[in-house]
């Protein structure tokens, strides 16, 4: 993930992980064209450069060239992962909190709107305006985000995670997860727990 300079941030790591952080400000040819963090996929070479630069394995005389190569590779790295935007409108904040309190329950939009004292149409418009998604699309995104964490943190099976996060069937969960993450839940769980 790339975070713009001066932006307050924090990280949470799930599963068996090692964290490598590298400051790129002041590196030649590095400009971040965004005022928001960017999550990107890391291939083998990019991963090796990041590890070797942060662990001090690259001699100082070669570190500048290694950083320049890393910066160049980051520019071509495809986006990865799921980004959950934060709601701004107070009604939407309350609605999102209600949904996230129990992701296993499929709260209809009408009931959610009544709970936050807004019309169903207004709440639907808020989801589209702030998230660029419908309520069901946003809910699926949040459920997959939390399901991906559950797959890494505990020994739950794909079926158990699907049930816990409100999918009617494991196959519906697998289809949605694969579309959003780019791999099946089982492959995601195996791949991350193997590191």
pLDDT tens digits for range 113-149: 999 999 999 999 999 999 889 999 999 989 998 898 8
**pLDDT at residue number 6:** 73
Quick check: 68 pLDDT over 90?
Answer: no
- pLDDT value of residue 145: 87
Report how far residue 85's alpha carbon sits from residue 130's, in angstroms, rounded to the nearest whole number. 8
Backbone angles phi, psi at 2, to 5 degrees: -105, 130
Dihedral Cα 176, 177, 178, 179, nearest 10 deg: 50
The dihedral of CA 49, 54, 56, 59: what is its sign?
positive
Superfamily of 90-193 according to CATH: Homeodomain-like (1.10.10.60)
What is the per-residue pLDDT for 120? 96
Domain boundaries, the chain: 1-80, 90-193
Q: What is the pTM of this model?
A: 0.65
CA pair distance 121, 88, nearest whole angstrom: 18
Residue with tokens 């590779």: 73
Q: Round to whole Å and give the CA distance between 164 and 186.
A: 16
The mean pLDDT value for 81-98 works out to: 86
pLDDT of 109 strictly over 80: yes
Residue 5 pLDDT greater than 80, yes or no: no
């Amino acid at each position: 993930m790339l975070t713009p300079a001066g932006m307050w941030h924090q990280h949470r790591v799930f599963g068996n992980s090692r964290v490598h952080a590298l400051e790129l400000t002041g590196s030649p040819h590095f400009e971040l064209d965004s005022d928001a963090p960017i999550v990107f996929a890391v291939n083998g070479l990019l991963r090796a450069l990041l590890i070797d630069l942060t662990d001090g394995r690259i001699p100082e005389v070669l570190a500048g060239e290694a950083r320049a190569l890393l910066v160049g590779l980051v520019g071509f790295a495809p986006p990865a992962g799921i980004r959950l935007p934060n709601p701004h409108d107070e009604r939407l904040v309350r609605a999102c909190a209600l949904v996230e309190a129990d992701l296993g329950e499929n709260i209809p939009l009408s009931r959610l709107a009544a709970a936050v004292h807004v019309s169903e149409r207004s709440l639907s418009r808020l989801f589209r305006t702030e998230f660029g998604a419908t309520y069901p699309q946003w809910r699926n995104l949040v459920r997959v985000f939390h399901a991906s964490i559950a797959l890494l943190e505990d020994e739950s099976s794909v079926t158990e995670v699907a049930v816990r996060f409100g999918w009617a069937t494991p196959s519906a969960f697998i289809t949605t997860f694969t579309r959003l993450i780019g791999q099946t839940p089982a492959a995601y769980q195996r791949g991350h727990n193997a590191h």
